[in-house]
Every structure is written in structure tokens, then in C-alpha cells.
Amino acid sequence: MLVLTRKKGQSIIINNNIEIVISAIDGEQVKIGINAPKEVNIMRKEVYEAVQQSNKEASTPRIQLSDLKSLPNPEK
């Protein structure tokens, strides 16, 4: 991990097209602005992790194949 020190109004450039700007500092809270191309997804880590967990849960079957076999067959 790269750790940098920045002051209010200073910025960091990533990959020539993403700019991270320190917009305010209030005690232990730092407000940042991010200028990036529209195709770059930007999420807070807790939101990203919640989306990943939700996707994992959605891809896990809630019913077993053996349970489906015990359902009545409407064609009979």
C-alpha cells in the first residue's frame, strides 16, 4: 500500500486519468473528490462488499434438485 500525505486542495493522479482531490479536512474526517472517466466504477468499500455478498447469495441455489423431484408433476 502506498501512503501519501496531502493537504486540502492537493490531489493525486492515478493512471493518468483519475484524480483524487482532498476537498476538506475536519478533525478525523477527510472529504475527497474523485474525477474519473464514466466507465470507471467507484464505490465505498462497504457498499462494494455488500454488493459482492448479495451477488454470492443470489447465485447460491435455495432449493435442492432432490426437492424439485418431489413436487407434483402437472403433466400427469
pLDDT at 21: 98
Assign 76 a pLDDT band (cuts: 50, 70, 90).
Answer: low
CB 52 within 8 A of CB 41: no
Sheet of strand 29-35, all strands in order from the earlier edge strand to the far edge: 11-14, 18-26, 29-35
pLDDT, tens digit (0-9, with 9 covering 90-100), for 50-73: 999 999 988 887 777 777 777 777
Site of grid cell 467507484: 42
pLDDT, tens digit (0-9, with 9 covering 90-100), for 2-52: 999 999 999 999 999 999 999 999 999 999 999 999 999 999 999 999 999
pLDDT at 48: 96
pLDDT at 62: 76
Instruction: Report the alpha-carbon distance of residue 41 to residue 59 in Å, rounded.
Output: 22
